[in-house]
Structure 1
Amino acid sequence: MFSRKINVRKIFFFQFFLLYALRNVVAESITIPPLHSFEDYDSCLALPSPNNTYCVVFAEIIPNATSTLWKNITQLSSDFRYNYRHDHLFFGVCLNTCINIVKSLNTDIEKYITGEIKDNELASYYDTVHKNNAELKANYKNVTNICLNYKFMEKYNLKLRTYIEYCQSGNSTPFSDNDTLDIIAYYIFGVILVLNIASSIYDYALKKKKSQTACTKNFYKEDLNTNVEKILTSFSFLRNYHRLTRRPNPNDLIKNLEGFNVIRIIGVYLVISAHVYLLVLTSHMQNSEFIETMLKHAEAIIIQNGTAFIQIFFIISGFLLNFTFNQKQMVTPSTDIKQGIVIYFKIFILRYIRFLPSLLLYILFTGTILNKLQDGPLWLHIAQPDRTFCREYWWKNILFINNFFMKYSCSHQTWYLAADMQLFELFLIITIITAKYPNLKKYIYFVLILCAFLIPSLLTYYLNLEPIYHMYPETYRYLYFRNNETFYQTYIPFYTNISGYLCGIICSDVFLKLVNNNNNATQNYHRILKYKLAWWSLIPMFFVLISIGTLMMEQTFEKPSIFVAIFAGLYKNLWVIICGLFVFGMCFKMGGIFHKTSVLPSSTVLAKISFQAYLWHFAILHLMATLYRPPIYISRLNVITIIICSYIFSNIVAFFITTCFEYPINGFIKMSKRRDYKFRNNNNNTLELNSK
């Protein structure tokens, strides 16, 4: 009996101790400071001047070895693969609140002064982005430092080093600080709108005039008679809409490439999905643990590994370059070298000036108007970098070299356009050489295959890089790619993406050879069972590669490592081979529902506007990311909703930019060139040299 009482007592004390310990653990985890703490933005700016100023402040928690909370923060932040640095925080503070706190402290101010952050790289970046904010930052840095330390020490018994990213006064409005470039942008977009209205009215008048003497059912689909009429109707919305919805001639060989439509559509959707996850990492949120847990979920793992999927766009670009070049027979063995050089510059310049107007319009928009379309506590944190860098470093984009200068560059998503242009230049030279000297083709391809494997492998080995580029929570938290040399060295340079273009060119060579030998090849292969099974087997191969990539990302290797280097070269090129076979099969109508979807009229339109959707989606994401004033509670449904809405709005914007700007400008370019040097006509708008 006595023994039983002792056991009951032991069990009671054990349970009490366990509950107490668990309570302490939960309490400590709950008291970990949130990554974002923002006071009410609108009520602050509504205060009387001069205290109606709102500042966004970056802070570092000062280490304290005696604090249990600091130990918990350090332990949580140590898993950099999945967790944020919880000692790096953002605050939104109202100056009026801080001034009142400082006044109430009287003589106790000194113990709350800790100075500025030690992260000089980040401080320098924010100084560059918000250079016009220097005076406000200098005036309020001590006040915000004292204020935040007072509140933080009261709640967590820890100190902060602080740095003002920017301050915003309630006396200014989005349109109150317009400069010359802003006004020029308003005029340019206004002129584009007026041109579309006037050109559409004139086109309608021509239709009415013609209806008196002839049938006008297909008026907007037909070419006009004179160059004057073509110029005056170049901005006609209905005419350009019919160009957009026009499909290739059924007798054209290029119609067999309509299968690329669905690849472009899915590709743009996946890019937007990945960039939504990227922007979520930068958002002000209540529940950072959702992101940290989400990165371990299946969809995030697929996106992390799916970065290699970008190769499919390089494959399509290479395929179309070689396909168009060989179909036009621009260079033959009898072509002299001087003529080959002339052809190179004609093709390159034509492609360059087709990209340039759309890119310039987007840079102008992000450098001026975008900044005016939204406000909020974190808006300038997200939008100001593009406004600053699009004004100062626009030349990197128009020279298509911004993939080598990503930190201080405008519109980070345009790295792909730069890499694609550089690869186009390289492989245009190679295509001309192999057309002039066919006997050299095998040797040149062999050297390029070696380079495609060796370059990423050697870079990975000698620079101690990761085998696969993937995002960590801190990768893009500060609106530029930080502490991720794998991204800079092996993901975005053109020379590490040679394999994609080369694979596209080889697929094009094989496709043209098969079609030339058998006119019915595109009608027969997709009906043969073994080819169908081979094509469908590519889909599980995608997931096998993703699984292998996931295992590699989970491992930690001593560097330099020969194994890691070899894997880096193999992994990217295996993706290229599988994506290349996928594209090749679509040329022969493989894929069943995939190919049937590709030939739908809606798919044709979405594929044609995919370039503009890719270009403009980042602006849409910036606007979507700052719809909420206070830190938001993020859920999976929330992320899916943002992805779907961003995709829809990106395509809506792309539709109007394509019909109201891209097609009219391209019409002028076409009219300015002699017929012999045109590389596209109205019947193959979907598939052209500038792979979108």
Structure 2
Amino acid sequence: MRQTSGVIYNLNDTEYDRLPPLFKLDDYYPCLRGPGDQYCYVDAKLVTNGSRELLHVIQEYSAANNFTHYDHNLIHWGICVTKTCRQYLGNHTVHEALEACINSSLQQTHQLQARLVEEKVYCTAFEETDNIDTGDIVVAVILITILTLNVLGTLYDVCCVSKSVGGRFLLCFSAKRNWRRLFAPSGEGSEPRLSRLKLFNGINIFILQTYYDPIFHIFYNGNLIVQTFFVLSGCLLAFNLLLGEEKTRLTWPKFPRYVMLRWMRLTPPYAAVLAVIATWMKRFGDGPMWKPVVGVETEACRRDWFYHLLYLNDYVDHSQCMAHTWYLAVDMKLTILGLLVFCLVKSWRARKIAIGVAFVAGVVAPAVCTYLQNLNAIHIVSPEVARNYFVEDPTFNNLYKRTHTNIVCYAMGLALGMWIYKRMQTDVDINKYKKYRPVYWATVPIGVFLCALGGIFYIDGIQVPMLARVLYTPGVKLLFGLLALVLIPGTIFKLDTVYRGFLEWQGWAVLGRVSYCAYIVHVAVIRVTTANHATLLHTNFLQILLTYFAHLITSFVIALPCWMMIEAPFNQLVKLCFYPAPKDEPQEDTLKTIPREVTLKNIPRDIDTKDVKPVFMVNNKEKDFDGTVVLKL
């Protein structure tokens, strides 16, 4: 044991074995085999009853560095009440019997006692069932209706297609068409400039794989990783609004329409998963930790669901309901901010000033919050914070998930979208910028370094001064955003093929389309798989790695039907309602008959290739040119 100034940072194996077991589970299923059987999972606070020296060790070790240590003052035990605590049930309530039973065990082995945390006692009785209520029925009816629409839409697409309003409505739910959309090339559409942004699919998938796993949170600063999403979101909003402004002027009356479109884009799959969690998910499994892990989220979602549908949940603290979806609430409000800039401010210069003001506010806000509320510089995923799914951590609640503390990178994204649009208006001579390729190549290594730099906040015994925290909090976001501002345009304008080849791989387009649904269900998958364990697991790095990939794959497997039956159909419905196709526009089936390429023969050798539209491919090398040209349509 190493002890400095009365603070215990580390315990050797012998000393650590003296502590009461932090987690302990009696056999669950053998406990619930007959009427009257009961199993309880409890939290209990240790108190002294003779061994003051051991309790002192526990308190000092737990307090030495709560960033890397569990709180061993609080034990979490699963107890078979009717077997382990049978002798205490006579004249006592269940809670009194549990406390007496725990104290008897602790007294014999550690000379300690404990007091139950009353609100953290979760009991399960033999053949306990949950009654189906009105909310369960309503959600089931809605989901069955959506499934029925998908079946009818697919049959309608296969058997009989008409141009009626009802027919086009049903075709939105056609699995055949949505499957084809899933595998369509990235950037396919009427606006060719959007195809230049297909690298965003690769960035989204890579971030999704690293963002919500504890492995990467321990070594990296997760707050930095999510800032990339804000840069991408702001860039896409500005770029798309400027493209739309070429056809119609952005005006204030259009602002509510754009907000509604964004709400309708995000909400259908989000609301569906939220509804399932609030109603039926509590029936998806069983186990000693089922109620404290899954049950608490169900109760929280039944209480707080309207905050989520209004995208206000980033300002709701201590709620276990889909805590990871704070990003959606922040993104919605930042989208409204971006729309205000472009709809209210008309001139290019005034928009740059407005974005500059937002940028300054985004730099100042997290620094002020860190100082006034004495917060950590980064969101530290300590064992206790992870055990509670982050929601009890002050830094997570007041700095990490708030809209006003995440403005800076979104403002940088808006500026980047404007810059990319402006550059695409002119012919960019990329050769002039190739001398800066080392800077472009350095963006990823520097980004990894900035993420790893957060590890200094996990070191035992370090008390980071307030001034350092105030400067680090906005500064590291700013630096990470600047790296994105180099990497993204460098890839779009084909400065190099090293990163571009990876990020623009066509496979990312398919995964990117279902990544939103995977993001929504990911934490629910972790909760359900964790809560279904009936015994304690002794793990290692390999086991953690396998669990991570199992969660990732399972999330995408669940996300596929979610996208096919909910997200894609409702996106098509939005397009049908808000973007009706012109009467003279060819229908999808008609487009199938248009050839993708045309072969021309007997073309003269000295043809001016710059004037050929669309760009052509020559079948043979120039020295073997036989006059054959293939036009790619």
Matched, 1:302 2:219: yes
Structure 2 partner of 1:268: 208
Matched, 1:606 2:514: no
What's the Cα RMSD here? Answer: 2.7
Structure 1 partner of 2:303: 392
Render the CA deviation track for 1:601-646: whole Å, top value 9, x for unaligned: 4211111111111111111111222342111112111111111111
Cα–Cα, structure 1 residues 538 and 662, in superposed 2: closer, same or farther, change >3 Å?
A: same
- In the TM superposition, what are the counterparts of 1:280-679 in structure 2 within 5 Å? 300-303=217-220, 305-329=221-245, 340-408=251-319, 410-434=321-345, 436-482=346-392, 484-518=393-427, 521=428, 525=430, 529-554=434-459, 556-557=462-463, 561-590=466-495, 592-675=497-580
CA contact (8 A) 1:272 1:643 kept: no
Matched, 1:153 2:153: no
CA contact (8 A) 1:260 1:586 kept: no
CA contact (8 A) 1:406 1:412 kept: no
Letter in 1 for 2:169: I
For residue 76 of structure 1, report the CA deviation from its aligned partner: 2.1
Letter in 1 for 2:27: D
Q: Paired residue for 1:163, among 109, 117, 141?
A: 117
Q: Paired residue for 2:19, among 11, 26, 32?
A: 32
- Distance in 2 between the 1:301 and 1:92 partners? 28
TM-score by length of 1: 0.77
For residue 185 of structure 1, report the CA deviation from its aligned partner: 2.4
- Distance in 2 between the 1:357 and 1:481 partners? 25
- Distance in 1 between the 2:540 and 2:435 partners? 44
Structure 1 partner of 2:621: none
Render the CA deviation track for 1:488-525: whole Å, top value 9, x for unaligned: 2221111111111111111111111211111xx3xx63
Render the CA deviation track for 1:356-379: whole Å, top value 9, x for unaligned: 222211111111121111111101
For residue 674 of structure 1, report the CA deviation from its aligned partner: 4.8
Report the count of equivalent residues: 569
- Distance in 2 between the 1:489 and 1:459 partners? 7
For residue 671 of structure 1, report the CA deviation from its aligned partner: 1.6
Q: Paired residue for 1:62, among 20, 44, 47?
A: 47
For residue 99 of structure 1, report the CA deviation from its aligned partner: 4.3
Secondary structure at the aligned position of 1:241 is classed as helix
For residue 552 of structure 1, report the CA deviation from its aligned partner: 4.9
Letter in 1 for 2:257: K
Cα–Cα, structure 1 residues 668 and 263, in superposed 2: closer, same or farther, change >3 Å?
A: same
Range with greater deviation from structure 2 (633-642 or 195-204):
195-204
Cα–Cα, structure 1 residues 370 and 461, in superposed 2: closer, same or farther, change >3 Å?
A: same
Structure 2 partner of 1:96: 82
Secondary structure at the aligned position of 2:420 is classed as helix
**Higher helix proportion:** 1
- Distance in 1 between the 2:274 and 2:13 partners? 48
For residue 203 of structure 1, report the CA deviation from its aligned partner: 1.7
Secondary structure at the aligned position of 2:404 is classed as helix
Letter in 2 for 1:437: S
Q: Paired residue for 2:98, among 120, 141, 144?
A: 144
CA contact (8 A) 1:262 1:595 kept: no
**Higher strand proportion:** 2
For residue 593 of structure 1, report the CA deviation from its aligned partner: 4.9
Render the CA deviation track for 1:263-316: whole Å, top value 9, x for unaligned: 011011112424xx5xxxxxxxxxxxxxxxxxxxxx55433x132110110111
Cα–Cα, structure 1 residues 596 and 227, in superposed 2: closer, same or farther, change >3 Å?
A: farther
Letter in 1 for 2:67: R
For residue 49 of structure 1, report the CA deviation from its aligned partner: 1.4
- Distance in 2 between the 1:393 and 1:191 partners? 25
- Greater length-normalized contact order (CA 8 Å, ≥ 6 residues apart): 1
Cα–Cα, structure 1 residues 590 and 92, in superposed 2: closer, same or farther, change >3 Å?
A: farther
- In the TM superposition, what are the counterparts of 1:144-223 in structure 2 within 5 Å? 144-163=98-117, 165-173=121-129, 176-206=130-160
Letter in 2 for 1:323: F
Matched, 1:252 2:192: yes
CA contact (8 A) 1:598 1:604 kept: no
Give structure 1 regions of 4+ aligned residues with deviation exceeding 6 angstroms.
none
CA contact (8 A) 1:141 1:163 kept: no
- Distance in 1 between the 2:496 and 2:73 partners? 50
Q: Which runs of 5+ in 1 are unaligned?
A: 1-23, 110-137, 208-223, 278-298, 684-692
- Distance in 2 between the 1:640 and 1:76 partners? 28
TM-score by length of 2: 0.84
Cα–Cα, structure 1 residues 77 and 312, in superposed 2: closer, same or farther, change >3 Å?
A: same
Structure 1 partner of 2:170: 232
